[in-house]
Amino acid sequence: MSKQTYLELHNIHQMFGTHQALKDVSLNVDEGEFVCFLGPSGCGKTSLLRIIAGLDTPTSGAILQAEKNITHSPISQRDFGIVFQSYALFPNLSVADNIAYGLVSKKFSANDRRARVTELLATVGMSGSEAKYPAQLSGGQQQRVALARALATSPGLLLLDEPLSALDARVRAHLRQEIKQLQEKLGVTTIMVTHDQEEALTMADKIVVMNQGVIEQIGSPQDVYAHPQSPFVAEFVGEMNFLSAKVSGTGQMQSGGLTLRCDQSSHLMFGDAAQLAIRPEDVRFHIAGEKDNLLNAKVLHLEFLGSRVRSLLHLENHERPILADISMNEMSRLNLSQGQTITCQLPHDRLHVFGGAA
């Protein structure tokens, strides 16, 4: 059963003086969906979140939430909860009063406020912390309280602005999992801004990759990773090797002194410039019986990364080295060492082809 569209953005433009922060951004978010706006600093993702929250007004375009036009609605009339990177808790208020802050203006009784605070603290795993103050809490605990406060009024939309970036790696990974589980349990439509690709890949139902004020690609984490639609997406989401090339025949590319078979080059004409791209984990070494795209390579460097080893390979007849990731099991089988020459394969079905020169 298809889900109902909950939030619609139509042709959003945002100008700050002569700087265009957002260029014709359109997007639909389904009810109960977890969407990540992903991109580098300055790409427009926070500007877009602020427009949805009503903290900024778009220069042009429209926003509909549950079919209601909220483009120019004041913040007080919008149905959302928000969690900021800096937590933004009131230092002079207890945990209970911080969480209940939005309930006061909604005319909840003192008893109802207490019950809601108790329920939310249990939900975020902090039962019994009502009387504490923000200064007595760790960063991860403060972020849980900020999350509980954002959820207190049972909003239809939860907005998360880089909520985990101020935390250390271990706490971040743990809280990432908890937020996702909580979102699924509550079914609240959620939009999170992040520059962390791992965060987006592990948490989102849908990733919106942004660059220089435009949307480069929208898709599931698997889709964005496996089928990037532009060199920017390919490079920003995960690691990617790039090789400059030209179309030299049907399904065939010339890159340096290499002739490579490619499956994805049908959109290009003979002689067109292109970029070939391949993920480090897609470079193969176990190649008995294979004949396509076999290359000799010299191992320039090996880097131990725990569950895998990253190798830097210099391809014969090519000036640009590539990265290849090898599992520890394969590493012991290959017995690789620096300076060694080895045969590798760039599988034709794993080569991405982007038109245009680098």
**Domain topology for 5-235:** Rossmann fold (3.40.50)
Structural contact between residues 171 and 139, judged by C-beta atoms closer than 8 angstroms: yes
Bridge partners, residue 290, by sequence: none
Token duo for residue 227:
């089928």
Determine phi and psi for 231, rounding to 5 degrees: -55, -35
At 339 the pLDDT is 94
At 355 the pLDDT is 87
What are the CA-CA distances from residue 93 to residues 71, 214, 220, 230, 328 (Å)? 33, 40, 40, 48, 51
Domain ranges in the chain?
Answer: 5-235, 240-355
Q: What is d(CA 272, CA 283) in angstroms, rounded to the nearest whole number?
A: 25
Structural contact between residues 40 and 233, judged by C-beta atoms closer than 8 angstroms: no
**Residue labelled with tokens 């602020």:** 50
At 2 the pLDDT is 61
What are the CA-CA distances from residue 112 to residues 107, 123, 153 (Å)? 10, 16, 12
CA nearest neighbour of 64 among 19, 18, 26, 108:
26
Between strands 157-161 and 189-194, the pairing is parallel
Token duo for residue 43:
């790409």
What are the CA-CA distances from residue 172 to residues 5, 53, 141, 162 (Å)? 30, 24, 11, 11
Q: What is the mean pLDDT of the chain?
A: 93
Side-by-side strand order, sheet with 294-304: 322-327, 308-315, 294-304, 341-345
**Residue ranges of the chain whose pLDDT lies below 70:** 1-2, 358
Q: What is d(CA 259, CA 246) in angstroms, rounded to the nearest whole number?
A: 10
The one-letter code for the residue type at 99 is: I
Question: According to the CATH classification, is domain 240-355 in 2.40.50.100?
Answer: yes
Q: What are the start-end ranges of the H helices in 292-336?
A: 328-334
Between strands 189-194 and 34-38, the pairing is parallel
Model pTM score: 0.91
Measured from the Cβ of residue 170, the count of other Cβ atoms closer than 10 Å reads 9
Sign of CA dihedral 88, 192, 152, 177: negative
Measured from the Cβ of residue 200, the count of other Cβ atoms closer than 10 Å reads 25
Measured from the Cβ of residue 187, the count of other Cβ atoms closer than 10 Å reads 10
At 83 the pLDDT is 94
Structural contact between residues 213 and 19, judged by C-beta atoms closer than 8 angstroms: no
DSSP 2: P
Structural contact between residues 284 and 344, judged by C-beta atoms closer than 8 angstroms: yes
